[in-house]
């Protein structure tokens, strides 16, 4: 049995344990008020849930996660930051696992990502193993972040997704370009308004690289800011197809991203799937009555609508079963990877994806909404026990 730490990675609009929602109000992203993380620690597991930004893109999330783990200043990459038009450097962190990769209990970590955290941990695993050729070619060697150098694939023991948006969701694709851009402006407006106010102590947007808020390390007085003079920065963010979570959540951009990412031969991969819909008329699906109201509106869209553009990208009725926000088929392994249906007692091998049995959850069941504390504690204890028993 190993004792490798587990790092939980929150999804879109999520938060970490240093945010006031957890540190002051006791509301965890994983488990809400059920005390899952404290329970796991009492059971002898080493767990972390770092904040990496509720609205940040996949790439930016990975850069923050790297700095959170190893310590130091966030480096978004010279090439990347110039390409997408934001600051290269971000906050400075002390490091949760500065000795990651050294022999012993911190030789490896387990990564668990929910929702948008799913593709985040997958991209992070890839960058740790293979780095970024684009950044290596365009950055002076003495400036290059360790994340972009690669060669750290053996530091990742397992990659696990919980209702991961591993292949995008038709809910985000259904919005279309104009609506997604509007949502980008909407989010950035409130990030500018609230990011450096007292609200940021409880829920930190972490988007200072775009210039719409200040690094809290440099803020002496917290106050609201008028977004009036920040429209150009908002425009720059909203018009990026990549480096923009609103578009990356959709099937079209995720399809492109998946073509450039692949598994590492030394890492175990598990995709936990969920569904809370059932068959209805004309071969469609409809949300179960048990589905959370938080998910139900999205559930009617993902279980009913396939646009002509979606069909051109291979979307068919197999995509209609849903957990609300994410199509069940998308919560499985990336469709660009070979995957095996997991069965009790089977031997698993690294470098290969395993699709876990579909559970009757909606998208926020993994967070503990409408679930009992006992069920949540058992779910995550069983998950971490499985990791500990892997070679």
| Cα separation, 89 vs 215, whole angstroms | 11
> What domains can you pick out in the chain, each with its CATH number?
6-278+316-385 (3.40.50.1820)
**Which pLDDT tens digit goes with each residue over 265-301?**
999 999 999 999 999 988 899 999 999 999 999 999 9
| Cα separation, 133 vs 127, whole angstroms | 10
- In eight-state DSSP terms, residue 58 is H
- Produce one character per residue of 11-33: b if its CB has 16 or more CB atoms within 10 Å, e if not: bbebbbbebbbbeeeebbbbbbe
**Which pLDDT tens digit goes with each residue over 139-152?**
999 999 999 999 99
Residue 52 contacts residue 65 (beta carbons within 8 Å): yes
Within 8 A by CB and 6+ apart from 43, the residues are 381
Q: The pTM is what? A: 0.96
Residue 254 contacts residue 119 (beta carbons within 8 Å): yes
**Tens digit of pLDDT at every position of the chain (391 positions):** 999 999 999 999 999 999 999 999 999 999 999 999 999 999 999 999 999 999 999 999 999 999 999 999 999 999 999 999 999 999 999 999 999 999 999 999 999 999 999 999 999 999 999 999 999 999 999 999 999 999 999 999 999 999 999 999 999 999 999 999 999 999 999 999 999 999 999 999 999 999 999 988 888 888 898 887 788 889 999 999 999 999 999 999 999 999 999 999 999 999 999 999 999 988 899 999 999 999 999 999 999 999 999 999 999 999 999 999 999 999 999 999 999 999 998 999 999 999 999 999 999 999 999 999 999 999 999 999 999 999 9
| Cα separation, 257 vs 242, whole angstroms | 9
Within 8 A by CB and 6+ apart from 339, the residues are 271, 332, 333, 352, 353, 354, 355
Assign 359 to helix, strand or coil: strand
- What is each CA distance from 41 to 60, 210, 227, in whole angstroms? 29, 36, 42
Least Cα distance to 30 among 44, 4, 58, 50 occurs for 50
């Amino acid at each position: 049995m190993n004792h490798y730490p587990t790092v939980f990675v929150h999804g879109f609009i999520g938060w970490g344990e240093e945010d006031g929602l957890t540190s002051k109000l006791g509301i965890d992203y994983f488990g809400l008020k059920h005390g899952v993380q404290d329970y796991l620690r009492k059971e002898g597991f080493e767990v972390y849930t770092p904040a990496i930004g509720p609205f940040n893109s996949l790439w930016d999330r990975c850069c923050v996660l790297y700095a959170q783990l190893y310590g130091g200043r966030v480096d978004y990459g010279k090439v990347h930051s110039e390409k997408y038009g934001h600051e290269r450097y971000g906050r400075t962190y002390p490091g949760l696992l500065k000795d990651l990769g050294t022999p012993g209990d911190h030789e490896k970590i387990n990564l668990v990502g929910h929702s948008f955290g799913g593709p985040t941990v997958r991209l992070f695993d890839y960058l740790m193993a293979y780095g970024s050729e684009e950044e290596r070619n365009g950055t002076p060697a003495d400036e290059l972040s360790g994340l972009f150098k690669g060669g750290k694939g053996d530091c990742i023991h397992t990659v696990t997704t919980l209702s991961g948006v591993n292949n995008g969701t038709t809910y985000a694709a259904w919005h279309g370009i104009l609506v997604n851009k509007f949502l980008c402006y909407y989010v950035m407006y409130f990030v500018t308004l609230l990011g450096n106010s007292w609200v940021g102590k409880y829920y930190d947007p972490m988007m200072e690289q775009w210039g719409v808020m200040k690094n809290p390390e440099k803020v002496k007085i917290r106050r609201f800011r008028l977004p009036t003079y920040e429209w150009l920065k908002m425009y720059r963010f909203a018009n990026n197809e990549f480096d923009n979570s609103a578009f990356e959540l959709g099937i079209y951009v995720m399809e492109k991203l998946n073509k450039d990412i692949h598994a590492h031969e030394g890492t175990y991969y598990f995709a936990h799937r969920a569904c809370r819909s059932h068959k209805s008329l004309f071969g469609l699906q409809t949300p179960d009555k048990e589905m959370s109201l938080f998910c139900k509106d999205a559930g009617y869209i993902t279980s009913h609508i396939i646009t002509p553009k979606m069909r051109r990208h291979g979307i068919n009725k197999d995509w209609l079963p849903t957990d609300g926000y994410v199509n069940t088929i998308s919560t499985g392994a990336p469709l660009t990877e070979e995957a095996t249906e997991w069965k009790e007692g089977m031997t698993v091998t690294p470098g290969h994806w395993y699709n876990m049995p579909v559970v009757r959850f909606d998208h926020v069941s993994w967070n503990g909404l409408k679930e009992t504390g006992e069920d949540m504690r058992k779910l995550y204890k069983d998950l971490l026990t499985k990791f500990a028993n892997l070679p």
